Structure 1
Amino acid sequence: MCPEAMSTATKLAIENLWEEVRELSLGSTTYQIDHLTSPPTPLQFLRDYISPNKPCLISNSVNHWPALSRWSSTHYLKKTLSSSTVSVHLTPNGRADSLTPHRDNSSSLVFASAHVEKMPFPVALEMVSQSDTCSGKGSNCVAYLQEQNDCFRNEYFDLSQDCDDHIPWASEALGCLPEAVNLWIGNEFSVTSFHKDHYENLYAVISGEKHFVLLPPTDVHRMYIREYPSAQYHYSRDTGDFKLELKEPKRYVPWCSVDPYPSFEEKGRDMSRFPLYYKGPKPFEVTVKAGQVLYLPSMWFHHVSQRPDSRGLTVAVNYWYDMRFDIKYAYFNFLQSIKYSSRSDSPSHQQETLEQQEDDLDVISSVQNGAALEQLNDGEEEQFINRLPHPCDI
């Protein structure tokens, strides 16, 4: 079979897979996940959701948690954690661990990590509440309290008595206790870009709301996962300004290229650049309200935004349980390895692209260190700008 025919056959097979998964397991008419009005039994949870890798929303599962009433008081939070030092993630726009144009050339996207500082919890909470002007100098600054390293049982230990240390019916179904429990305190500006986790995730919202856009692992090609240079924000308290610097040594991060909510100006470009996302089946969407728990299965792609409570805060606790690296994981890796036949997928072209990205990063680094693009001649400068890494079509 010729390469062109193979590419067409592969594409059709993958698109049929998207539809079949929805028809046979997830539901293809409403694009809404199951909503359980009471917690499932361990057997029901294992049979109906864990085994088929299917998300669900559960109400009336954590009503007994003191957190639901106590954490509505900012005074209680500050008093309980008055002596605690916590990690604060700072960005100029609320988008940490996401794709951002590099400051030296807006056409070059990098994977940007937040600037992280340790500070007393009362101060940190005020920064979240005052985000968008938290620098006090008129420039944008968004603070998010989160540290994905079991922070609820470490930095926020004094609050841990207000929630169960695990979800009993989930622990029994999964056959283990959670590996990590994390606390999240943010505001309307904090957004988490599309990504997946290798955990079974039970996500409980305490105050405010979280909105999830979900795609199953079978839709991996629709995410346009690409390698992006890794960078990090650096924040100056003196000036209130952020600088985005490439990390050293150089490394690349595989990340989803799709933003489900592009700006009006970017929508047309993204629709042509990422046609598999926009022309494929609709994503699943769910809003998790205070007192509800979302079961987010392992390897599901998810984008998260939030609506705060009357204080301007959204607070949540999530439980990460180890996933089973079983046949489903093997199937996912096999599916992800399948490429459509095109020049951009050929090994020689990939090697050329990698080598060129290395050269381009050298130039960007030299610009950061004070060198100017004017040092390149006109032809070299134009070639460099045209080559700057950006998401590409399959």
Structure 2
Amino acid sequence: MRASVRRLAEEARDLYLNDAVPYLEKPPTPLEFQRSWLCPNKPFIVRNAISHWPAISKWTFPYLRQEVGEQSVSVAVTPNGYADAVHQGRFMMPEERKMRFGEFLDIVERKRAASGVFYVQKQCSNLTEEFPQLLKDVDAHIPWMTEALGKDPDAVNFWLGESAAVTSLHKDHYENLYCVISGEKHFILLPPTDRPFIPYEHFQPATYKVNEDGSYDVIDMQNAEKETTNLNEVVRSQRGAVNLVPRSRGVQQLMSGSNSHGEGEVRNEVGYQMVIRCSAHSVYPTATPPPRILGN
């Protein structure tokens, strides 16, 4: 059986998977997208797909301060950048903190000392919920993706972070369009046919808790476990690109992609989400003492 599955993975690479994620010079039509990318579950990158967005030229730190500096937003805080990632035998989730966006910018610009890595990465359409002032600078949806799937995006997320932030390898239940406003994003992409060879394990879920002195505790979640892989997210996506990240893979500058499907999953019920990302300068966290592990 294992030899047959391995042969399937090898034949998939030989017959239809690309050696590298292809770049498109213009967005596909909805029909091209369905036929060439969505149905075969293949990622791609579209150059300059969002160059018409005002955000490309407007989203500087001074502009963001002016527009949303006083807004209270959700920020993920970790000692080392490992949020929603396997670290030291645990599936670590960040401390989620509410703070003024201007205070967050002070930290990422190193205008204010803080222990750890701070990252705006909240899901569930945080652009519309926490950053509505920025909606005027981006399109509400990607027309060819919306037409192909027959629906608007279920979520539009705004992420801003630095190079130290790492996420574990995972699959989403959405088709993903990753829109890079500034900086770069690196992805590791694996096709669905490689799933049998990915070493999934069960890990103890835990969260970080930041103490007043800047030290971190690790708090185990009781009666819970998380199944994931100890591989970390490397395709590089650069400014102005959209990456299509298929639901189990992905890049598009618009980065677009689709995931592998679970048993009983129906394609036409699948929605998509847009992720709009900015990057701070490639800075690294200040030294923090190792977190104390509390609980089990």
**Distance in 2, Cα, partners of 1:187 & 1:92:** 13
Q: Letter of the 1:204 partner, please give it.
A: C
CA change 1:77–1:319 in 2 (3 A) is: farther
**Distance in 1, Cα, partners of 2:256 & 2:214:** 35
Q: Note the residue ranges of structure 2 that are not aligned, 5 or more in a row.
A: 266-292
Instruction: State the match for 1:244 in structure 2.
Output: 218
The two structures have a TM-score, normalised by structure 1, of 0.63
**Distance in 1, Cα, partners of 2:198 & 2:107:** 33
Q: How does 1:375-386 map to 2 (within 5 A)?
A: none
145, 156, 177: which one aligns with 1:202: 177
Aligned length: 268
Residues 214 and 300 of structure 1 are in contact (CA less than 8 Å); yes or no, is this contact kept in structure 2?
yes
Q: Given the alignment of the two structures, is residue 287 of structure 1 paired with residue 260 of structure 2, yes or no? A: no
Q: Given the alignment of the two structures, is residue 70 of structure 1 paired with residue 58 of structure 2, yes or no? A: yes
The two structures have a TM-score, normalised by structure 2, of 0.84
CA change 1:49–1:40 in 2 (3 A) is: same
Q: Letter of the 2:191 partner, please give it.
A: P
- Superposition deviation, residue 17 in structure 1: 1.6
Moved over 3 A (4+): 316-320
Residues 42 and 249 of structure 2 are in contact (CA less than 8 Å); yes or no, is this contact kept in structure 1?
no
**Distance in 1, Cα, partners of 2:53 & 2:116:** 33
Q: 1:212-246: CA deviations, max 9, x gaps?
A: 1100122112321111111000011x200110110
The answer to which structure has the higher helix fraction is 1
CA change 1:292–1:177 in 2 (3 A) is: same
SS at match of 1:45: helix
Query: Whose RCO is larger (CA < 8 A, sep 6+)?
Result: 2
Q: Letter of the 1:159 partner, please give it.
A: L
207, 230, 236: which one aligns with 1:257: 230
Q: Given the alignment of the two structures, is residue 173 of structure 1 paired with residue 148 of structure 2, yes or no? A: yes
Q: Given the alignment of the two structures, is residue 33 of structure 1 paired with residue 8 of structure 2, yes or no? A: no
| Percent identical residues | 36
Highest CA radius of gyration, 1 or 2?
1
Residues 181 and 319 of structure 1 are in contact (CA less than 8 Å); yes or no, is this contact kept in structure 2?
no
Instruction: State the match for 1:298 in structure 2.
Output: 247
**Distance in 2, Cα, partners of 1:34 & 1:318:** 11
**Distance in 2, Cα, partners of 1:317 & 1:144:** 22
**Distance in 2, Cα, partners of 1:23 & 1:159:** 44
Q: Letter of the 1:253 partner, please give it.
A: K
**Distance in 2, Cα, partners of 1:99 & 1:155:** 28
Q: Note the residue ranges of structure 1 that are not aligned, 5 or more in a row.
A: 1-9, 102-108, 261-284, 303-315, 333-366, 372-394
Q: How does 1:308-323 map to 2 (within 5 A)?
A: none
**Distance in 2, Cα, partners of 1:84 & 1:223:** 41
